[in-house]
Amino acid sequence: MFERISKTTAGARTAIADGLRRVADRIAGSGSEVLGEKANLLAEYVTSMPSPQNAVDSVPGWNMVLPPEAGATGGTGYYFCDPRIEWAISQHGSLAGATVLELGPLEASHTYMLHRQGAALIDAVEANRLAFLRCLIVKELVGLPNAKFHLGDFVKWIENTPTHYDMIVGSGVLYHLQDPINFIEMLSRKTNSLYLWTHFLDDAAMPEDDRRRTVFVGGVETIRHRDLDIRIIRRSYHNAWTNATFCGGLSDNHMWIYRDDLLKLLGACGFDDVRIAHEDHQHPNGPAFSVYARRASV
């Protein structure tokens, strides 16, 4: 009996020894793969003095200049003092104590502006993982305690969150959506005050021979909604998502709405006070404008 146990124990020891030798062989000889993995993991450590710039450099793809108090360098676009958002706030009035839904915060520049105006709660919903991380870094560097960043699809947020917001801000999002028509419908049930900066289609501003139309796929489609004929056209990103700075939507199959049809749709959804600013027919990506829409009767 003792002999059988001894033999079993010896066999186990041999198996363990063989396993250890195989591990040692991987490390010493064919173990370059293991060493490579270790090297990659060690590369994730930062050995310099902790700094705001270390935090910014940890995530690639920055588009926007950071506010001065961040103490770090990000991208090149000055959006933390964006005149479009300043205009939107001036149309809405005081945000002190207000609840705001921000769609696609990207790098929290507009969140920063809304927060500085005294918003009590900003739900900022971002679908891009890298952009979400950049927002969290900005929140840490400049301090945005009233802002909550949520990672995911803001369309699903609107569909599943019961909150009715004092204001919804969507700068650069409408033209990235697959179904912008029903999206406007959903927004109209969540707020009485809406700001959009968006590209639009207009045949006079961007005629058929305009080079900016080469990104469109197929012809103009007409959708019947609320007794309106709303014209839309499909657009492609043409592989722009291969760059870390990509800030488009979730799908390559996205739609642009004709300018006048968008304004009619807003009116049909109950926004009886619609104001326009920053209209730019020469924008390199296509005509664009700011729209502030509210229910004046509420």
Sign of the dihedral through C-alpha 217, 223, 225, 231: positive
| Domains of the chain by residue range | 2-45, 55-294
pLDDT at 243 over 70: no
Does the structure show a pLDDT above 90 at 236?
A: no
Given a cut of 70, whether residue 32 has pLDDT beyond it is no
**pLDDT grade, residue 239 (50/70/90)?**
very low
Is the pLDDT assigned to residue 101 strictly greater than 60?
Answer: yes
- In the block, residue with structure tokens 């060493």: 35
Decide if pLDDT at 222 tops 70: yes
- In the predicted structure, residue 5 carries a pLDDT above the cut 50: no
Could you tell me the two tokens for 22? 């195989």
Residue 9 above 60 pLDDT?
no
Q: Read off the pLDDT of residues 129-151 as tens digits, 9 standing for 90 and up.
A: 999 999 999 999 999 999 999 99
Residue 289, CB-side half-sphere exposure with 13 Å CA sphere = 19
User: CA distances (Å), 296 to each of 94, 95, 168, in order?
Assistant: 16, 17, 16
Report pLDDT for 25: 52
Paired tokens of 5: 């146990």
Tell me what pLDDT residue 113 has: 98
Indicate whether 186 pLDDT > 90: yes
pLDDT value at 197 more than 50: yes
Among the listed ranges 29-38, 66-75, 242-251, which one has the minimum average pLDDT value? 242-251
CATH topology of domain 55-294: Rossmann fold (3.40.50)
- Look up residue 72 and give its two tokens: 């770090």
Residue 27 has pLDDT above 60, yes or no: no
Which segment of 29-33, 146-150, 232-236 scores lowest on mean pLDDT? 29-33
Residue 201 has pLDDT above 80, yes or no: yes
- Per-residue pLDDT, 24: 46
Amino acid 23: pLDDT? 44
